[in-house]
Structure 1
Amino acid sequence: MITLAGSKRLVLILEDEALIALDLQDELQDAGHEVAGPFTACSAALDWLQTATPDTAILDATLNDGSCHSVAVELSRRGVPFLIYSGHQEDKQLLADFHHITWIEKPIPPAVLVQECQQLLVACG
């Protein structure tokens, strides 16, 4: 992981709606986290993941360049906990590979997502 003990936790944001992404970034930073992104496309997040690993991630299910599946697979391979925050109803096909993933439907206040991220970080140590 990129973070050291006692340092800020790094949260990757994959969200293609600018206002949602910026609100979420602000809330996470206000809660003491560092933010990777926000990335608006899976390809950009995958490029970033070539040289870094977040502590946790918030993924929109569907981006301008397709499903978040490839990013979710890479995060899972690295043992990075993540949740999906989407304007779409829960996608059973997408979740088939990720039984342990929390799916949160938009809209909810960004503070709720921050709390969910913190719970992921606590659960995974």
Structure 2
Amino acid sequence: MIQQDHGKPLALVVEDEALIALDLQDELQDAGYEVAGLFTTCAAALEWLRTQTPDTAILDAALKDGPCREIALELARREVPFLIYSGLSENCQLLADFHHVPWIEKPAPPAVLVEACQQLAVGRP
């Protein structure tokens, strides 16, 4: 796992619902993560990814400016483990190329997502 200078793993959070994003941020920070974001648009997350690489990521499948497909492709290209956290059905065609990626349907407690991130970090499905 790539660690930032301060020794904490960096988690990218891409979520356009403010309360969900803030809950995730709090839970991740409590679990020892540094949180990048919170990004509410695909464009903002992609801009950040131009110069940064997270250790793991939580993506909503679709934001106000469209599906997170390009973000998922970039994370996969960099071999960054990520999961999808979405209210959309897992059968959604938005991210069909990522059927192997863990998909957690909303609503779920933030602690479930943190545990899933920790499992990704050690390579467990």
The structure-2 alpha-carbon separation of the partners of 1:38 and 1:6, relative to structure 1 and needing over 3 Å to count, comes to closer
TM-score (norm: length of structure 2): 0.92
Gaps of 5+ in 2: none
The structure-2 alpha-carbon separation of the partners of 1:17 and 1:8, relative to structure 1 and needing over 3 Å to count, comes to same
State the secondary structure of the residue aligned to 2:19. helix
State the secondary structure of the residue aligned to 2:51. coil
* Superposition misfits of 4+ residues, deviation over 4 angstroms: none
Deviates more, 1:41-50 or 1:85-94: 85-94
Alignment pair present for 1:111 and 2:111:
yes
Gaps of 5+ in 1: none
User: What is the total number of aligned residue pairs between the two structures?
Assistant: 124
TM-score (norm: length of structure 1): 0.92
Q: Deviations over 1:66-99 (max 9, x none)?
A: 0010100000011001000001111342343113
Instruction: Provide the residue aligned with 1:12 in structure 2.
Output: 12
- Deviation, structure 1 residue 41: 0.2
